[in-house]
Structure 1
Amino acid sequence: MSALELGRPRSCAAVLGSLLTAALVVAVHSQCAAPPRSPSAEPKERLEGHQLFPSGYRMAFVCRPGFGRNPRTSNVLVCGVNGVWHGSSEICIPKACSYPGEPANGRLLLPGAFTFGSKVNFTCNTGYRLIGRSEIECVLRNEVLTWSSDVPICQAIPCAPPPEIANGQHSGMDKEHFEYGDSVTYQCHRSRRGEKPFSLVGEASIFCTSLDNLNGVWSSPAPECKVVTCKQPRVENGNLLSGYRPEYSFGDTVVFDCDFRHSLSGSSASSCRDSGHWEPPLPLCQRSSCDDPPDVRNAMKTRLAGNLFPVDTVVTYECQQGHQFRAGETTWNISCLQDFVWSETPTPCERIPCPDPDFPNGKPLHPWQVKEVYESGDRLEVECSEGFAFKGHGSSSITLRCGNDGGWDPAVPECIPEPHCPKPSILHGKEVYKSRSDYTVGSRVRLACEEGFALRGLETITCGADLSWEPVMPFCDKVCGPPPQIPFGQHSGRGATGFPYGTKVTYSCAEGLSLIGDESLHCTSEDGENMTWSGPAPECRVVRCPRPVVERGRMTPQTFTFPYGLLLHFSCDQGFRLHGAAQSQCLADGAWHPPLPTCQPVQCPRLPRQDDVLVHFNQMWYEVNATVPFYCKRDGRFGAPSKTTCSADGTWSPPPTCRKSDVCERVLRNKAAFQCGIPLSDLKTQLEVQKLFLEIQKLEKELKITTYS
């Protein structure tokens, strides 16, 4: 037998064993063990031992005592194919207990809900203690839900009566019982006459409190009534600010401060204690500043930061301008020493002297300014001797000032031989004034030109430090003589002394006069040598306006001449109307202003259009006295012609209107027809015609109203 054949039975047995094992595992996993015990529910049927339940098994549950069915879930669990029970874990829920209530002066600590098995706690308000159980539970008793015990009581925490004291009493003497929060105040008995008063030592008021929220205790020991006195408080170099009394007893408080330039060491306030001593101890007032630094003549104190000068404070003195302590020293420092005295006192500041300003070829101008010693601020005016001048200065004298540094300002000048400017000479000119000095620096010369010439430039020149004349030397230029004067007029060159080539003057006349001739003349030369005016002067003559002419018009006043300023009034003849201004005035230019008016013929407008008036050939405008015939329409027929005439005022006279016939007139006309013996047939025809006429009139009115609407 081959090995292959020998192995086949073993392989089949192994496969079969595996299949049996798998089937057993599947069978075991498809069953459910008994569900775990629930505190709120139990199986409806009692379970026996370790029982297994097949897949799909349905197990019903009932609620244990104190629990009720949850209406939102099923009371059945189902065994699943994986051996797990399926269903809600809250088949039953706790039943509700009634509200337990709250203690007076206490409160309930609220849980989630008042249900079977829940617990509530109680606490009392401050000052009250809990009598009873602080925690109760909702339990089942005789198949009824109730609380495990009654609600506790909150009792006020009591205190023993407050202790009595000798020589005093408290405010609760008439009370027997004291509770949390009660307070009493102690006071001492009044002393007899001649005896020192009692002082209350300790807390005047105490109150009932608790350390463990069970038993009451007083907040502090009772005070004592004792005779306590303290000595009069005295602080050297100090002042009592508040609390002064002839005698001091327990509790009195005093406040001190120190004299100027002293500092307080310790507490500024102190109280009389039951020991008869001041606590904290009375302060000390210690020196903290030097006195004011001494004054020094002609010096100022600088760097002063207030009026207190602690140890090592430095004060600097500075001399006033022009003064010094010693040669070259203008400042001095002193300091406050440890014993609060100044290190030294500076010497006074003395004025700084200047050297004698003696210089060759010069001298002081005023003898009273000469001194043996010149000090800061002194002035000395000096000048050079005759024939000499200051070097670099054009003035005849210089004022020196003794400066703060002991030097002269400006520096003492040097006198050198006096320089001269050249003699000023101009063609056709001459000197009319010069300084007594012979053209030296600073001397002045005034120049003028000969007749027929004008000075171009300034007439006064000065010899400058550079020995040239300042400003630039002027020159004499040929000019025209004064322009001719004219009666009743003037020219623009009045006040001028010379009129150079090209100068133009303009003439003008007095008001009411006209300028006849050239308005302006200018200075010219015909031969290039001599100057003359360009033409003769104009004349000033009276202004007259031309005679005004207004056809078909009149003017007032009637006059033969029309001088400047005359005012005329204009009006038109009958049948003419004025166009333009009614008055005009003669102006200085010989013209009328406003312009002269005109007289235009008066015209009447065309006759107005009327329903009962007929006008043949009605034109736009009609001349005065024009006559226009018109016809009035009556009973449908036009009567005899009437006339209207154009008046001089531009209106029609008489007005072209027609008088309307009334009903009474027609009745009278009919009556006359009866009286005249007109045949009835003719009269009937006439009446019918009149009736037809009235109807036509009525129809015309209705048509007009309809058209207007």
Structure 2
Amino acid sequence: MTASRRPRPFSSRSFVQILLVTLVLRLPAPTDACDEIPRYVSMKPKGNPEAPVSAGFTAEYECRPGYRLIVPLVRPTSTVCQADGTWAPPLQDICTRKSCPHPGDPLNGRVEGSTRFGSQMNYFCNEGYDLVGNSVLRCELSGNEVTWSGDPPQCNKILCKPPPQIQNGEFTNSHKDTFEYSEVVTYKCKPSGGSDPYSLVGNSTLRCSGRDEWSSDPPECKVVRCEFPSVTNGKLVSGFGTKFYYKHEVQFECNEGYSLKGSPKIVCEANATWVPEKPRCDKVTYLEQKFCIVNSLEILWDGVRNHHIVKRFCVDSLNKYQMENSPVATRIHLNIYNEIVTYSCKPSVDQMNIHWLERAGSFVLGLIDGTLNLLSVKVKSQ
């Protein structure tokens, strides 16, 4: 028969162990306090940690490619996840963009822009020079460094090949193989060897305006002779001659009793025709003496439509203002129905009271049955 085991006495050491286990079991388990890690344009967290992270996690930052630390560095480079989901201390950018080396102005040109990472430089050439290469370079990432996207362009002098030769003509400095920008050549015509000379039709001077580009097409050298200009019932008053060549200008006027229709001046143009077309002289109808209201009345044409004004004497023996030597009125050439004319008293006449039935300051003339009649006016003396 075995003896019964007596219970071991409860020691203080065992009590402490039990208490510690109980306290540990009652501590809260760690949780993911921060759902996102702060992101910045110029810097990134080292090691590329993935969110979410627990409270107490420290994010240490470094510059992104293309950026460098700001010197001197006075801002914090790390931040800690707090239990409430925030980060402390809050960070500011500690990095700035790197710069590509300044390329300098090209010979005979200039460059504008920024050398900082992500920026670009624009190239321009001086007048008279052509840009060869890319006009824009960008500061780009190359590994961990920054460099330009290509080689800088050059500004080359603009040159032109000789302009075209023309038949019956020649140009200055025709012996040269190349012409510089803005250099000018002048064309002239050779002697024709006949009775009529060559006329130079077009621009006589051409300018080198771009690489192998001239300011206009070359001129022509050819005989341009217009027919003798004649107008029935008219005559030349300027530009007289026996032969009429390119750009010759003449002017006409009509004989007494005729009115000029068209342009009085015409020019001999490249196709050997007169431009504009020759005018014509039409027979006109006169305002007869019986329509002179008073002998002290001046009648003037209102407008400039190639109508010719001829002065004449107008005598009215019934008018008490008639003076000796018959003051001059006018005879007006009219051949269009309802033309409008204006008139006024001569300086030698005063105290005349004129009353208008219709339009003040004017009266209307109309052709009725081939004769001229005065309409819509009434004149009376005091």
Distance 1:51 1:337, change over 3 A: closer
1:40-189 mapped onto 2 (5 Å cutoff): 40-44=42-46, 46-50=47-51, 52-54=53-55, 57-70=57-70, 71=73, 73-80=75-82, 82-85=84-87, 87-110=90-113, 113-139=114-140, 145-189=146-190
Q: Within 1, Cα distance between the matches of 2:138 and 2:104?
A: 13
The match for 1:199 is 199
> Alignment partner of 1:319: what SS?
coil
Q: Within 1, Cα distance between the matches of 2:201 and 2:308?
A: 45
Q: Which amino acid aligns with 1:135?
A: V
Distance 1:248 1:47, change over 3 A: closer
Does 1:285 find its partner at 2:284?
no
Q: Within 1, Cα distance between the matches of 2:74 and 2:237?
A: 85
Deviation at 1:120, TM superposition (A): 1.4
Deviation at 1:48, TM superposition (A): 4.8
> Alignment partner of 1:33: what SS?
coil
Contact 2:160 2:181 in 1 (8 A): yes
Selected match of 2:245 from 224, 246, 249: 249
How far does the alpha carbon of each residue in 1:297-328 deviate from its partner, in whole angstroms, 9 at most, with x for none? xx944764238899xxxx99682359xxxxxx
How far does the alpha carbon of each residue in 1:324-355 deviate from its partner, in whole angstroms, 9 at most, with x for none? xxxxxxxxxxx7747986579xxxxxxxxxxx
Distance 1:47 1:260, change over 3 A: same
Q: Which amino acid aligns with 2:318?
A: C
1:543-582 mapped onto 2 (5 Å cutoff): none
Deviation at 1:114, TM superposition (A): 1.9
Contact 2:168 2:192 in 1 (8 A): no
Does 1:33 find its partner at 2:27?
no
Distance 1:78 1:339, change over 3 A: farther
Deviation at 1:197, TM superposition (A): 1.0
Give the TM-score of the pair, scaled to structure 1: 0.36
Contact 1:290 1:309 in 2 (8 A): no
Deviation at 1:141, TM superposition (A): 5.2
Q: Within 2, Cα distance between the matches of 1:32 and 1:309?
A: 100
Which structure 1 residue ranges, 5 or more long, are not aligned? 1-22, 323-334, 345-709
Distance 1:31 1:167, change over 3 A: closer
Does 1:231 find its partner at 2:224?
no
Q: Which amino acid aligns with 2:81?
A: C
Which structure 2 residue ranges, 5 or more long, are not aligned? 1-27, 302-306, 322-364, 375-382
Contact 1:68 1:92 in 2 (8 A): yes
Contact 1:191 1:197 in 2 (8 A): yes
Distance 1:316 1:306, change over 3 A: farther
Q: Within 2, Cα distance between the matches of 1:88 and 1:318?
A: 114
Q: Which amino acid aligns with 2:85?
A: G
Contact 2:80 2:87 in 1 (8 A): yes
Deviation at 1:242, TM superposition (A): 3.3
Q: Within 2, Cα distance between the matches of 1:130 and 1:216?
A: 15
1:453-532 mapped onto 2 (5 Å cutoff): none
Contact 1:102 1:151 in 2 (8 A): no
Structure of larger gyration radius: 1
Q: Which amino acid aligns with 2:213?
A: V
The match for 1:413 is none
Q: Within 2, Cα distance between the matches of 1:69 and 1:166?
A: 73
The match for 2:4 is none
The match for 1:320 is 319
Q: Within 1, Cα distance between the matches of 2:226 and 2:175?
A: 35
Q: Which amino acid aligns with 1:320?
A: N
Deviation at 1:173, TM superposition (A): 0.5
Q: Within 2, Cα distance between the matches of 1:295 and 1:121?
A: 81
Contact 1:136 1:149 in 2 (8 A): yes
Q: Which amino acid aligns with 2:110?
A: R
Task: Tell me how many residue pairs correspond in the alignment.
Answer: 293
Give the TM-score of the pair, scaled to structure 2: 0.63
The match for 1:525 is none
Report the RMSD for the aligned CA atoms in angstroms: 4.0
How far does the alpha carbon of each residue in 1:365-395 deviate from its partner, in whole angstroms, 9 at most, with x for none? xxxxxxxxxxxxxxxxxxxxxxxxxxxxxxx
Deviation at 1:292, TM superposition (A): 5.5
How far does the alpha carbon of each residue in 1:94-136 deviate from its partner, in whole angstroms, 9 at most, with x for none? 12333222223433232xx421232212233455432112221
Q: Within 1, Cα distance between the matches of 2:195 and 2:187?
A: 21
How far does the alpha carbon of each residue in 1:518-541 deviate from its partner, in whole angstroms, 9 at most, with x for none? xxxxxxxxxxxxxxxxxxxxxxxx
> Alignment partner of 1:246: what SS?
coil
Q: Within 2, Cα distance between the matches of 1:83 and 1:316?
A: 117
Of the two structures, which has the highest relative contact order with CA contacts closer than 8 Å and spacing of 6 or more?
2
Q: Which amino acid aligns with 1:224?
A: E
Q: Which amino acid aligns with 2:36?
A: A
The match for 1:265 is 261
Contact 1:130 1:152 in 2 (8 A): yes
Distance 1:244 1:85, change over 3 A: farther
Deviation at 1:188, TM superposition (A): 0.3
Deviation at 1:230, TM superposition (A): 1.2
Q: Within 2, Cα distance between the matches of 1:174 and 1:47?
A: 73
Q: Within 2, Cα distance between the matches of 1:280 and 1:291?
A: 31
The match for 2:209 is 209
Specify which structure has the higher proportion of helix. 1
How far does the alpha carbon of each residue in 1:22-65 deviate from its partner, in whole angstroms, 9 at most, with x for none? x99x955x4343344x5532334x2454451315x442212234
Selected match of 1:306 from 291, 295, 300: 300
